[in-house]
Amino acid sequence: MTLPQPEFLPVSRREGRNLGIGTFDIIIVSGDAYVDHPSFAAGLLGRVLWEEGYTVGIIPQPDWKNPEDFRTLGTPRLFFAVSSGNVDSMVNHYTPQKKPRSTDAYSPGGKRRRPDRATLVYTDLLHAFFPGTPIIIGGIEASLRRFAHYDYWSDRVRQSILADAPADMLVYGMGERPLGAIAARLSRGDPLGEITDVRGTVIRKPVHNSLAKEDAVTLPSFNEVSLSREAYARAFSRISSEQDPFRGRPLVQPHPKSTIIQNPPALPLSTEELDRIYELPYRRRAHPSYREPVPALEPVRFSVVSHRGCFGNCAFCALSLHQGCIIRSRSIPSIVREVTRMTRMPEWKGIVQDIGGPTANMYGMTCRRWGEHGTCPDRSCSPDCPGLDWNSGAYLKLLRAVREIPGVKKVLVGSGIRYDLIAQDDTGFLEEFCTNHVSGHLKVAPEHVTRRVTELMHKPPCEVFETFRKQFEQLQAGKKKRQYLLPYLMSGHPGCTIGDMVELAEYIRDTGLYTEQVQDFTPTPMTASTCMFYTGLDPATGEPVHVPKGREKRIQRALLQYRDEKNRELVAEGLRQTGREDLIGNTWACLIRPAKRGGEKDGKQQGRNKSSI
């Protein structure tokens, strides 16, 4: 039975009673504030489950020091669903240098309101307060910690989060299919312990009872991967190769007190299913009980998710192991209807902030294998593959349709584009895109320029970026108000040396690229780059990889921002270590110039630094 969707999902028993609810079917516990927007997991999953006929309450950001916060909505009929929120709580709380952050964009007023390792803390408390009530964990924190994993913040290999948490099951990936399947089976009386075959889930069994199927793959155990870096790299390689919804096999990893079993990934949603999910009546507002704004909402309030999946498979990104490599796109009429509804909101100012997905211009792209066979075994998609239809025409058609909606003044794309998918494109994509959908800066992510480093990152070589950069520069000719490239660049990635960073700094100097948006590599669970960082091995080849740490990482980051006077000492140290004292001097080509006397400026260098290209 489909229930009428409420204005907001209940966060209190009073709100539940007003809807005629005495006992909730499902209670979502989230580390984020409750924002009723499809970019916020609790809001989206709650709406989806409600549409499927289940009453859903949300406990947002409970105070882990106050047991009553966890009792706010009572005991659910079916289960608690627990998530740390949209971001891993450790990434949310700490910088790449492991220094505490002072704010949390997913909390009212930007105030920190969640604990470290929020999924574990919430689950421990719920298990204590509601013994016997099923608990299912999920979200990005649980999803990417589903196997034994290297934890950067404690600098050790930790068990699967399901081996540590007193939860009954883990849902990985986007969650709609498995959560709905679990709710349906529990509703018809199936014991949770017998629900062992739902795609997109991980279960825990006693150490001698693996329930392994004939086609299951047994991974190196927790003991093996925690003692042997070679075993860790082998385990990661095997895990990565089995994360395809069509050909993936069950994975089994023994732990000291339990066996962790991952079922194959959930099948990707169809266009019709995505349309239905994203057209649910989201208010695009934070719950009215909040007295302060939630900072994370404003940049996305009038954004639209056009598709899911990314076949870029960047080594430092876990998206392919969470959302998958297969692109599934919404229909243009559905997106037009969603934007039309946004234009009727009182907060609407005529600007669509973003239309995209993990990579905006992958919208509408398809591969002839994806329908039945899934991705290729190496999951290495590229524009050179004859099976991949990577024409940008579908995305242009979508953007044109949204531009024509009455009340829409501007359609921006804030999620960034893959330049290697348009460098050879003959549809005029770049010119139309820049003319209509770029306000001042176009985000792109070359990350590095040294071929050895870009290969380890699974990024295109610098030559591809150069082709794109020159195309972009040609489009600026004759413009009164030019646009600029905003490149994302990374320091400290495995395989990267100080010499490589000097080469990148010279490239920045020669092109004048703006480098405010920089990233110091942070090892996060379940990425190939983190595997390299911990093991010193490339999991794809088994070959050794240089791993920058400590002061070297500081020097690498300083080289990325060599123009900043506060980095002068570290930049000089890096140049001397690599024998590049020729870049310390008094010409424009030098990375370090003589220190300026009070108020003195170097007009020639200042001018070069302002130029984007």
Helix, strand, coil in percent for the chain, rounding step 5: 35, 15, 50
Last residue of a domain, one of 262, 295, 317: 262
d(CA 46, CA 25): 11
DSSP three-state, residue 130: coil
pLDDT digits (tens, 9 = 90+) for 157-189: 999 999 999 999 999 999 999 999 999 999 999
Identify the pLDDT of residue 391.
79
Which residues face 304 on adjacent strands?
355
Provide the residue range defining the domain that includes 558. Answer: 440-613
d(CA 394, CA 403): 14
Residue 396 lies in a domain: no
Last residue of a domain, one of 242, 262, 282: 262
pLDDT digits (tens, 9 = 90+) for 236-287: 999 999 999 998 999 999 999 999 999 999 999 999 999 999 999 999 999 9
- The count of domains in the chain is 2
Average pLDDT over residues 552-557: 95
Identify the pLDDT of residue 322.
87
Query: Which has the closest alpha carbon to 163: 149, 176, 177?
Result: 149
pLDDT above 90 as % of the chain = 76
Q: Is the pLDDT of residue 611 over 60?
A: no
DSSP three-state, residue 544: strand
pLDDT digits (tens, 9 = 90+) for 463-518: 999 999 999 999 888 888 889 898 999 999 999 999 999 999 999 999 988 776 67
Q: Tell how far CA 194 is from the center of its chain.
A: 32
CATH of the domain at 592: 3.30.750.200
Residue 565 lies in a domain: yes
d(CA 360, CA 342): 20
Residue 285 lies in a domain: no
Supply the DSSP symbol for 546.
Answer: -
Confidence band, pLDDT 50/70/90 cuts, at residue 212: low
What does the DSSP assignment read for 255-318?
-SSEEEEEPPPPPPPPHHHHHHHHTS----EE-TT-SS--TTTTTTTTEEE-EE------TT--
Average pLDDT, the chain: 91
CA-to-CA dists, residue 69 to 33, 63, 112, angstroms: 14, 6, 16
Residue 282 lies in a domain: no
Residue 228 lies in a domain: yes
Which residues have a Cβ under 8 Å from the Cβ of 309 and sit 6 or more positions away?
268, 323, 324, 325, 326, 327, 328, 357, 358, 362
CATH of the domain at 57: 3.40.50.280
Q: What is the reported pTM?
A: 0.92
Q: Are 501 and 574 in contact (CB under 8 A)?
A: yes
What's phi and psi for 218, nearest 5 deg?
-90, 125
d(CA 148, CA 158): 6
Last residue of a domain, one of 224, 241, 262: 262
pLDDT digits (tens, 9 = 90+) for 453-474: 999 999 999 999 999 999 999 9
Residue 449 lies in a domain: yes
Q: Is the pLDDT of residue 52 over 70?
A: yes
d(CA 296, CA 39): 10
Residue 321 lies in a domain: no
Residue 391 lies in a domain: no
